[in-house]
Amino acid sequence: MSLRRLPEQPREWIDRGQSLRFDFEGRSYDGFAGDTLTSALAAHGVHVLGRSFKYHRPRGICSLANHDVNALVQNGSNTNVRADVLELAAGASYRAVNTFGGLARDRARLLDRFGAFLPVGFYYKTFHRPRRWFPFFERRMRALAGLGAIRPDAPRRRTPKRYDFCDVLVIGAGPSGLAAATAAADCGAKAVVVDEQRRPGGSLNYQCVAGPGSENDAADLLRQAASRSNVDIRPDTVAAGCYADCFVALVDAKRLTKMRARSIVMATGAFEQPAVFGNNDLPGVILATAAQRLIHLFAVRPFDRCVVLAANSDGYRAALDLAGAGVRVAAIVDLRPDGETGALADEVSRAKIRTCVSHAVYQAIPAAGLRGIRAAVVCPLAADGTPEPQQAFDIACDGIAMSVGWAPADGPFCQAGGRMQWSDALQQFVPRSAPEGIFVAGRLNGIYALDDRILDGRRAGLAAAAFLGLHSAPLPPEVARPAASPNHPYPIVPHPHAKSFVDLDEDVQYKDLVHSVQEGFDQVELAKRYSTFGMGPSQGKLANTNAMRIIARANGKTVAETGVPRSRPFFHPVPLAHLAGRGFHPQRRTPLHERHVQAGAVFMPAGDWLRPAYYAPEGERRAQAIRAEALAVRSAVGLIDIGTLGKLEIIGPDAAAFLERVYTGKFANLPVGAMRYALACDESGVIIDDGTVARLADDRFYVTTTTTASASVYREMQRWAIIWKLNVTIANVTGSFAGVNVAGPLSRRILQTLTDADCSAGAIPYQAVRSATVAGVTARLMRVGFVGELGYEIHVPAYGARRVWDALVDAGRPHGIRPFGVEAQRLLRLEKGHVIVSQDTDGLTNPFEAQLAWAVKSDKPFFVGGRSLEILKRKPLSRKLVGFTLATEDLREREAVQECHLIIAGGHIAGRVTSIGCSAVLGQTIGLAYVRPEMAAVGSPLSIRVDDGRMVPATVARTPFYDPKNERQTLAYCC
């Protein structure tokens, strides 16, 4: 039976009709449906919920609001789950993370005693010498660091992402947010309200519950909003990241939703901030709102006897709530010199609660094993706010509730581009400027009184509607910010001996920040990274404001001068499963994909495409298969799917003139029915692509590009066409046409059986293009020689590709036709010394370096890169692409050389290998490499450094390696 469960509370979230049993750290407890793990444990008087990150000190409730990570648990395969907001599940078993041997007997707790040896930035200073010991310490520190454990066997969860749209997105379902949504909806806007809490209402659910009319206010606000059909309220949904143009990532339990709003009302509220004093991290030291959440939402009595540390009226209300819940409030320790006046002070007085005005809690005295507290050390404050510990006195208590101020939850606002500025009057940041379409309301706007927050929300909702053109009447006047600040300017009373924490996530103490400044990390972003404040999972929600105050004071500056760390998405950590979601990785397949699969293709990615690297139908090894495919092309006939090549149609009266400008070659004089190699450079003369240009008619050209460049070349051509104002139409028909290349001495014989065209050398000479039908499919036949044999590219409408492929395979079967993949094609073209753009060129290669000067026709008026190439032509080359053969018989050495290995000369880098392959037809390993020009003469020795550091000898060789006179691809011989 729970010891601390209160009688039914008016707005509690628990269902007393459903009792649940669960395990925590191996012990069994019960709770109610609707309890969080933390609240259920608190109901049993369990205070220690976790261990701290660095010192492994016991930690308990702090905010009970997902704003700290004192209580992180492993929940099955889910790790680092926040117990404060984790709804209890029947039969579940939870364990605290970051312990060695369990929460109670955590062996790493000894680290707390060695705090003096772990100063701020210790890992930058220690364990680095002697150097050989660093790996040892690194492993130890890595083992100690981190929180929960990832289970690689965790079941995969479906977390599809979703897009969504609305007129007004309201972030925060508190009084301001609900009022804003209602106002916007009444103007006709479709409003979506999101809130990270389980139920809408915001602070009205737990604050002011006992106050006059508050319950009705909350219910009324909610009822009004919910009654609008165009208001969609989504609790348990975090606005995890806010981006430009009102694009917001919403995270709920199931998925990530990408919300595209037309306008946003930020009503994100404020985080209650802790005070800094000795042992302020121990279980029992909690925020006043956490105590109120325990009482009102979960019907749990937080303490038996407590001290309330206050610096505003909220603290007095919390003291009354605690008293109402049966807690003996030993004292309200008020940091303010004048304390509270008015009705609340009277009520506290009537409740016989002692008040210690202008006093501070100096230290919490730990209970045994730091598992809680047994007293608060209270001391008066001098007129300048400094503590006077010589007059300190103890107040016995098992809890301290802190209510010393607020910090705006400005993360989403700043992520969206909003700017904040420090308000001396309010002692908090307030909005300075908001991006277009974004409006703020409520505590984020520095408005604290309930009525004012509702008015401010309505004003923001109407402003959003007006922005959308849905509201034309004048907006209500701005709501004035309060004259009296609810935020203490410096709720920090560091203790000289006891640890005084600023950031509970990262165990950052007051002295760490002071030392950071002393060591020169005096800017807020530097101090953040050096001390790690604000870098934990809570992103500084409870730490940043106090840290800035401390850094400002240590620098002798104001907080306004000190600034605030930049807020970045995500607002809360987002499960990786949500981020991964359903992956969309578009993949292109040629129409022949299924045929490749049936032929035993081993695929490789090429941009978005999957291409057969080689075919291993009966388990052939890679090298064996590539060799056999290459030999088939050299000796008989092979067939390759070239449908991935980019294919463009350039149409119009200025088509030829356009191509003359885009490519380095000449095309105006290209006869209809002929084709030509085409090389494209950018304005600086760097090679960007190559392909072929075939003239189909006077005003119509068919252009191929490399596989991966089709989209970029198409875009670039469109850009140039607009700039040059030429009468030309460009169509990207890459997907509309499939292509196969049938190559080898028998290719003509096979093709001739399938086409109505005359395939003789006279009818289709080298570099000719003809229209024909192949296997009944309309086709474009292009006589090519990329692999150095008689060959025809057959381009057909994609729908007919499989028929053509099947026909070629059938017709070629008696002749030993064999499909070949990209690897064999690379080898075959290497034997010919043909360059592959982007493999044998890089982002700086010009045609002169790549031995492609022959493709540059400078005697034409203009082409892209022409002027740069003219300049480059007059300069000496810094490198040159050459062929080479390996000058070693050692098979291991030959196989060790790979693309991108470096050429070394005199101990320095003198070039690199771009292509390498073992040629069966030549019986040697051949390659292409960039070398210094003085090393490019045929016969020059090269030295290639392979992965293990060995040097493999090579010799510069003449290209083409195979068929140097190009007789096999160009001559009219026919088998």
Partner 1 sequence: MLDTPLRLSPLHEAIEGLRPTWGELHHMPVASRFADATNERAQAEKLALCDASALPRTTLKGPGAADVLRGVDVPAAIFGVTVFDHGGLVARTGAAELFVEDGPGGGTVASLTSALDHGPAGVYEVPRQDASLLLSGTQAAEVLLETCGYDFRQPAGQLVMTRVAGVSCAVLARRLNGIRAFQLWLDGTYGVYLWETLLEIVREARGDVVGLAVFYPELAN
Q: Which of 129, 585, 725, 874 contacts partner 1 by CB under 8 A? A: 585
Query: Contact with partner 1 (CB under 8 A): which of 802, 826, 829, 968?
Result: 802
Burial of 318 by CB count in 10 Å (0-12 exposed, 13-18 middle, 19+ buried)? buried
- Give the x/- contact pattern for partner 1 in 676-715, rule: CB under 8 A: ------------------------x---------------
Nearer to partner 1, 28 or 587 (CB): 587
Residue span binding partner 1 (CB under 8 A) among the ranges 130-138, 465-473, 633-641, 794-802? 794-802
**Using CB under 8 A, which of 489, 797, 953, 960 touches partner 1?**
797
Determine the straight-line distance between the first and last CA of the chain, rounded to whole angstroms: 95
Compute and round to an integer the Cα radius of gyration of the chain. 38
Residue 742, interface with partner 1 (CB under 8 A)?
Answer: no
Our finding on whether 591 is near partner 1 (CB under 8 A) is: yes
Candidate ranges 89-97, 155-163, 463-471, 498-506; the one touching partner 1 (CB under 8 A):
155-163
CA distance 227 to 919: 78
Q: Smaller CB distance to partner 1: residue 336 or 588?
A: 588
Distances (CA, A) of 774 to 173, 602, 754, 756, 942: 68, 28, 5, 7, 48
Tell me, residue by residue from 111 to 150, as one string, x for binding to partner 1 by CB under 8 A and - for no binding. ----------------------------------------
Is 593 among the residues that bind partner 1 (CB under 8 A)?
A: yes
In angstroms, give the least distance from the CB of 660 to partner 1. 20
Q: How, if at all, do strands 162-171 and 256-266 pair?
A: parallel
Q: Does 372 bind partner 1 (CB under 8 A)?
A: no
Strands 737-743, 638-641: pairing kind: antiparallel
Residue whose C-alpha is closest to residue 938's, from 789, 786, 833 = 833
Q: Residue type for 532, please?
A: T
The interface with partner 1 within residues 254-283 (CB under 8 A) comprises 258, 260
Q: Which of 423, 523, 712, 729 binds partner 1 (CB under 8 A)?
A: 729
Q: Which of the ranges 19-27, 397-405, 535-543, 578-586 carries the binding residues for partner 1, by CB under 8 A?
A: 578-586
CB within 8 Å of 390: residues ≥ 6 apart? 379
Question: Is the Cβ of residue 803 or residue 873 nearer to partner 1 in the bound state?
Answer: 803
Q: Closest separation between CB of residue 591 and partner 1, Å?
A: 6
Of the residues 346, 478, 594, 758, which one makes contact with partner 1 according to CB under 8 A? 594
Task: Give residues with Cβ within 8 angstroms of 131, minimum separation 6.
Answer: none
Judged by CB, which is closer to partner 1: 200, or 241?
Answer: 241
Residue count (the chain): 975
The verdict on 165 binding partner 1 (CB under 8 A) reads yes
750 neighbors 815 (Cβ within 8 angstroms): yes
Write down the least CB distance from residue 609 to partner 1, Å: 8
Contact pick of 107, 139, 557, 582 for partner 1 (by CB under 8 A): 582
Query: Which of 450, 451, 455 has its CA nearest to residue 478?
Result: 455
Name the residue nearer to partner 1 (CB basis): 800 or 865: 800
520 binds partner 1 (CB under 8 A): no
CB 758 within 8 A of CB 747: no
Whole-angstrom distance, CA of residue 467 vs CA of residue 518 = 49
Q: Contact between 651 and partner 1 (CB under 8 A)?
A: yes
Dihedral of the alpha carbons of 116, 117, 121, 122, in degrees to the nearest 10: 180
Per-residue contact flags (x/-) with partner 1 for residues 756 to 775, judged by CB under 8 A: -------------------x
Q: How many CB atoms are closer than 10 A to CB 798?
A: 17
Among 171, 414, 463, 777, binds partner 1 (CB under 8 A): 777
- 3-state secondary structure (DSSP) of residue 672: coil
Question: Nearest to residue 206, comparing CAs of 29, 446, 13?
Answer: 13
DSSP 814: G
Q: Is 739 in the site for partner 1 (CB under 8 A)?
A: no
Contacts of 429 (CB under 8 A, 6+ apart): 407, 408, 410, 420, 421, 422, 423, 564
Contact 147, 538 (CB under 8 A): no
Is 643 among the residues that bind partner 1 (CB under 8 A)? Answer: yes
d(CA 48, CA 28): 15
Residues that contact partner 1, how many (by CB under 8 A):
47
Q: Minimum Å distance from CB 769 to partner 1?
A: 16
Considering only 2-10, 154-162, 502-510, 678-686, which stretch makes contact with partner 1 by CB under 8 A? 154-162
Sign of the CA dihedral with 294 first, then 300, 301, and 306 last: negative
Does 220 sit near partner 1 (CB under 8 A)? no
160 binds partner 1 (CB under 8 A): yes
φ and ψ of 129, to 5 deg: -135, 140
Give, for 52, the enclosing helix (H) or strand (E): none
Give the C-alpha separation, 267 to 175, whole Å: 9
Contact call for residue 586 and partner 1 (CB under 8 A): yes
Q: Which residue has the tokens 């730490």?
A: 543
Q: Does 604 bind partner 1 (CB under 8 A)?
A: no
Angle between helices 450-467 and 175-186 (to 10 degrees): 40
- SS3 call for 542: coil
Choosing from 322, 454, 807, 954, the residue that interacts with partner 1 (CB under 8 A) is: 807
- The correct pick among 113, 116, 130, 163 for binding partner 1 (CB under 8 A) is 163
Among 617, 735, 816, 964, binds partner 1 (CB under 8 A): 735
Query: What angle is formed at CA 677 by the lines to CA 673 and CA 683, rounded to 5 degrees?
Result: 125
What are φ and ψ of residue 252, in 5° steps? -120, -170
Of these, 162, 223, 557, 958, which contacts partner 1 (CB under 8 A)? 162
Our CB check for partner 1 shows the closer of 588 and 912 to be 588
Task: Say whether residue 198 binds partner 1 (CB under 8 A).
Answer: no
Between CA 872 and CA 851 the distance in angstroms is 14
Q: Which residue has the tokens 């981020």?
A: 579
The CA-atom distances, in angstroms, between 905 and each of 77, 882, 945 are: 55, 16, 10
Given 726, 798, 896, 974, the residue binding partner 1 (CB under 8 A): 798
Of 117 and 163, nearer to partner 1 (C-beta) is 163
Q: How far apart are CA 490 and CA 376, in angstroms?
A: 19
Q: Which stretch binds partner 1 (CB under 8 A): 153-161, 280-288, 502-510, 616-624?
A: 153-161
Q: How far apart are CA 283 and CA 51, in angstroms?
A: 10
Q: How far is the CB of 958 from partner 1 (least distance, A)?
A: 40
Q: By CB under 8 A, is residue 241 in contact with partner 1?
A: no
- Name the residue nearer to partner 1 (CB basis): 534 or 643: 643
Among 236, 522, 649, 842, binds partner 1 (CB under 8 A): 649
Select 776 or 941, whichever has its Cβ closest to partner 1.
Answer: 776
Shortest separation between residue 819's beta carbon and partner 1, angstroms: 16
For binding to partner 1 (CB under 8 A), which residues are involved? 158, 160-165, 258, 260, 582, 584-591, 593-594, 608-609, 643, 649, 651-652, 700, 729, 731, 733-737, 775-777, 797-803, 806-807, 810
